[in-house]
């Protein structure tokens, strides 16, 4: 199994694009998932100053993170993810595909297990 995580910043969320960029900037310092988890723990705290505070909480090099976020280093990559998602029909997050089968919205573990088990069984045939 392979996991591919794509940015899909919702246009309806005013801070989503910058938050996705912040995760990428944290990733430059090996803390992508930590920033991801921090942001999803409080999705109301995604303004640029709050993202920078989050970077400090994670112990990131603040100057490096701030430069990355302020520069828009990952702006094009985040936008490309949104365009790709739109082409695939994604209109909400999270949306997960398992061998092309979409699981839309927050789904329970049991559903993921069922779909993955079905796909693994199908692959063995």
The tens digit of pLDDT for each residue in 65-81 reads 999 999 999 999 999 99
Beta partners for 102?
Answer: 97
Eight-class DSSP state of 29: T
Q: Which domains, ranges and CATH numbers included, belong to the chain?
A: 1-90 (3.40.30.10), 94-125 (no CATH)
Contact 79, 16 (CB under 8 A): no
Q: Express each pLDDT in 40-59 by its tens digit.
A: 899 899 999 999 999 999 99
Reported in sequence order, the residue ranges of the chain that DSSP labels E, i.e. its strands, are: 95-98, 101-104
Alpha-carbon distance 47 to 32, whole Å?
18
Percent of the chain past pLDDT 90, that is, above it, reads: 71
Q: Is the pTM of this model over 0.95?
A: no
Segment holding 15, helix H or strand E: none
Closest CA to 35 of 11, 10, 9, 53: 53
Q: Express each pLDDT in 90-107 by its tens digit.
A: 988 889 999 989 999 889
pLDDT of residue 118: 95
Residue appearing with tokens 């919205």: 105
Contact 8, 82 (CB under 8 A): yes
């Amino acid at each position: 199994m392979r996991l591919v995580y794509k940015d899909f910043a919702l246009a309806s969320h005013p801070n989503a694009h910058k938050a996705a960029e912040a995760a990428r900037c944290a990733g430059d310092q090996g803390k992508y998932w930590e920033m991801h988890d921090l942001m999803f723990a409080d999705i109301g705290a995604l303004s640029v100053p709050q993202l920078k505070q989050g970077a400090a909480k994670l112990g990131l090099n603040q100057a490096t993170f701030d430069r990355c976020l302020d520069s828009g280093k990952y702006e094009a990559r985040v936008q490309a993810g949104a365009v790709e998602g739109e082409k695939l029909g994604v209109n909400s997050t999270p949306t997960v595909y398992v061998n092309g089968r979409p699981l839309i919205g927050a789904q329970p573990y049991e559903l993921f297990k069922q779909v993955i088990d079905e796909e693994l069984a199908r692959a063995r045939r």
